[in-house]
Structure 1
Amino acid sequence: ALFGWERFYGGDSLDIGYCVIQDNAGNFVISGTTYSISTDNFDAYLIKADNRGDTIWTRTFGGSNYDDATGLTQASDNGYVIVGSSNSFTGDETFDVYIVKTDTAGATDWVKTYGSSEDDFGSAIIRTSDNGFAITGVYNYYPDYDLGYYVGDVYVIKTDAGGDTSWTRHYGGSDDDAGSFIAQTHDGGYVITGYTYSLGPGIVDTSNIYLAKLNRFGGLDWQRGIDYNHSFDDAYFVYQLGDNGFIIAGGCYTTARKWDALLVKTDSLGNPQWQRTYGDNNSDIAYTACKTRDNGYILAGQTASFGANWVDIYLVKTDSLGNMLWQNKYGGNGIDRALSVLQTSDGGYIVVGLFGGDTAQSVGDVYLLKVDSAGTPMAVLDPSTQSPSNFFLDIFPNPFNSALNISAPPGTHIEIFNLLGQKIDEFGDKNIWQPNLPSTSGVYFLRATNRNNVLTKRAVYIK
């Protein structure tokens, strides 16, 4: 099996990874935002790492105010294009959609901004079949004093390969609507998802999933508000399937007053055919997803239902009908969140998001997590690449029969996983592990975490 690894990027302040791609050379490229490396505010952040997560280069972009990069794609010349939001260049501190094109080394080729006289935000970008780009987000976000809150429209921008506008459109209704993800459809058009307070059943101060189909020129074929539970519903991923229907991932607020991760399958006109929810007795949500090569899906987000930690990264693997095959959680002792996931060339998965540190009050780092096809979380890595020399994890004897002695610095948290990536035990300051009776002979992985330091070692248990 090909096991995974984790990496952290950033500094002493807040840094977030929003999107990850695997480029044509097999490297991982991450877009996000950083306060640690910026001189005076958040800057858009671009990181290029090799296939083990080791940094090749990092770049920041922006001006004197807030800038971020929530979306990322690779251009036809193998450079990179990020999209996000910025209020550094408008002159009145309103936000515009912000796009930067770089070469393969991260040097800027061009910069574009788009928007209205009010706030506009970029959420996601794709490279289109003509090697241009399509972006979605929020248009003309402003305070509606009659409604008593801010409202906006779903925003779509189509550009050529140089970032010059081919067309722009906005969609939705009279209330607040937003686009979070865009994909190109089989007929050369586009599908957009997000949330809507304007469309669909049950709209009384609650949101529905927004789903719209556009033709190649931005003309609206149809738009829908999809209601799951007569409460708050939101979507962050959409993809057109071979039957011309769509798969949507996001979250729904349930009658138990908690969020569940949600997967919805629709027909070609956006009518729901089935829905599946995932999670347990606390709030869980999918902020991202992708279709996998076995025609199933991988959902990623956050969970507060599993384990003793504050909020963890949550992965759910399903078959083509949304039936769960496995689920797992990852992260530290603070608030951790997955914001982008994709299947890698080796059949595993790469996840990027936020590692929130040790407590709910901690600032965060960009977190890159690689797992294998079964969700196994960690590999045995060279400690020099993962932790400072004064952090250690010693285990003996190995192999062991009844008890494994553990030596690590005070305050270290130990997690134990089997070969399926399932966590079978965890504890704090404890210097011995005795497997429970159901544990079988075989290989186990011990992961030691102390603040941002992580080490993993393999132990062999022989009954």
Structure 2
Amino acid sequence: FGGGFAQAPLCTAPNGDFVSEVVEFNTDSIAIKTWFYRFDQQGDTLFRKLHLQGSNSDTLFLGGYQAVPTSDSGFAICGSYYEPGMQDAVATLLKTNELGDTLWFRQYPSSGVAYGIDENFDNGFLLTGRKSGQTWNGLFLIRTDSLGQELWRRWYGGYLDASQQVHLASDGNIVTWANHRTVWAPDAFDTVACRLTKWNQQGTVIDQGEYRMPYRPFTSDFEELPDGSWITMGKWGEMYRFNKFSASLDTVWTRTYWFFGGFHNLFDVEPTSDGGFIATGEAKQTGANNDPIPGLQTVTVLKLDSMGCLVPGCHTVGVQEIVLGLEDALRLWPNPASDHVNVQVSLPSGFEVHGDLVLEVQDALGREVLRSPLPGSGGGGPSPFSFQLSALPSGLYHLHLLDDTRVLTGTKLVKE
């Protein structure tokens, strides 16, 4: 469905349906339209309604970047609009009822593009985005009333290739996640920091936290956790980057992941019921670093635990390489376990093991408490087999599968 420019922002309705603002672009007439789509939980289209249409056939841009459900069961969609004759693009905000009927549409002069939106405590809205060509203090935070009328605007940050986001925090303040130039230096990537900023409802900065990396750090999504801390997401160079900040915006941990040697983006992260996170994005093989299929663009889903680990226990001190992609190679049951646990190892056909396979158990502090080679010649079988835990006290552990040089995979283990 759809096609053309911009994104097709997606959000969930209260009943579990999905809502999206889809751009339709006609290459023959250069005409742009946006449609409100509502899908059921299986992804089938329930209906669509025309929302916006360019005022002439030369409209160059019209689209949405984020959609959110609102407290009145409707939806709000932020985006951008530009056509010939305008001095610059303007950020937009469109409000609908639950059936997708347009209630009102606002444009904000001298703005550019609104990438992030959240509903405020007073049923107004918070918008953040960027003004094209303004790389120093080029990002904006706009607060509106419940009808989308601008109450105030603040300029901050400043770097173009990023997706700014905003949330109403549980303490009633406003938090933005965006890139920020630390000094004025055009095209100097090492002057860019990824910054979490807390504002009060009057638009005054009251706290900040950030991380800096030596090359091209960009921001994408972030979410508040139940204890008031924050999980942030973006990329550094061509790598996925996750940071956890405390409620006082101090860095708690940082995790970096990458696949192949190509181009990577993460677009959305959500907390999960087990205390961890799930993130979605893309990985594109550019042909560099011996990518197996140059040009292949792959949707990526990452499931991380509460410490941001793909392999449980990655946060403990160690120098071994961690192999990615073997999360399904280790299975154990029952879990929780008592005096023993059944372990099954199923490495992919043709996978090269460096030496013997070993099972290592670490406690919650990362201390090795048990180590055993896998039964069988060369440490490769038989599987499944029974692994004895009787010497361990009750508690939470991490079970890792190792060879002589690497951590191949791992999982959590609870001893009753």
Do they superpose with TM above 0.5? yes
Query: Partners in 2 of 1:41 and 1:60 — Cα distance?
Result: 14
What percentage of aligned pairs have identical amino acids? 22
Letter paired with 1:61: L
Distance 1:151 1:27, change over 3 A: same
Letter paired with 2:261: N
CA displacement 1:315-345 (0-9 Å, x = unmatched): 101111101169xxxxxxxxxxxxxxxxxxx
Tell me the residue number matched to 1:272: 251
Structure 1: state its 5+ residue gaps: 1-8, 144-149, 254-258, 327-373, 375-421, 425-437, 441-463
Match of 1:189 among 165, 168, 173: 173
Distance 1:242 1:282, change over 3 A: same
CA displacement 1:20-42 (0-9 Å, x = unmatched): 11101221101243314996343
Q: How does 1:12-411 map to 2 (within 5 A)?
A: 14=4, 17-36=7-26, 40-58=30-48, 59-63=50-54, 64=56, 65=59, 66-88=61-83, 91-116=85-110, 120-139=112-131, 141-142=132-133, 150-151=135-136, 153-172=138-157, 180-198=164-182, 204-206=188-190, 207-228=192-213, 230-253=214-237, 259-283=238-262, 284-304=264-284, 308=293, 310-324=296-310
Tell me the residue number matched to 2:369: none
Identify which of structures 1 and 2 has the higher relative contact order when contacts are C-alpha pairs closer than 8 Å and 6+ apart.
1
Structure 2: state its 5+ residue gaps: 286-290, 313-327, 329-346, 350-380, 384-416
Letter paired with 1:270: L
CA displacement 1:199-229 (0-9 Å, x = unmatched): 69xx94333212211112221113444213x
Tell me the residue number matched to 2:376: none
- The structural deviation recorded for 1:111 is 0.8
| 3-state SS of paired residue (1:109) | strand
- The structural deviation recorded for 1:170 is 1.6
CA contact (8 A) 1:86 1:98 kept: yes
- The structural deviation recorded for 1:57 is 2.1
- The structural deviation recorded for 1:142 is 3.0
Normalised TM-score (structure 1): 0.59
CA contact (8 A) 1:199 1:208 kept: no
Distance 1:84 1:274, change over 3 A: same
Normalised TM-score (structure 2): 0.65
CA contact (8 A) 1:212 1:224 kept: yes
Moved more, 151-160 or 313-322: 151-160
Tell me the residue number matched to 1:415: none
| 3-state SS of paired residue (1:324) | coil
CA contact (8 A) 1:73 1:125 kept: yes
Query: Partners in 2 of 1:43 and 1:199 — Cα distance?
Result: 40
CA displacement 1:294-321 (0-9 Å, x = unmatched): 2211111111358746111111011111
Query: Partners in 2 of 1:176 and 1:16 — Cα distance?
Result: 16
Query: Partners in 1 of 2:42 and 2:160 — Cα distance?
Result: 42
Distance 1:423 1:219, change over 3 A: farther
Distance 1:199 1:43, change over 3 A: farther
Letter paired with 1:252: W
Larger Rg: 2
- Aligned-residue Cα RMSD (Å) equals 3.3
Query: Partners in 2 of 1:268 and 1:26 — Cα distance?
Result: 30
Letter paired with 1:72: A
The count of residues paired between Structure 1 and Structure 2 equals: 305
Structure 1 stretches of 4+ moved >4 Å: 36-39, 175-179
- The structural deviation recorded for 1:169 is 1.5
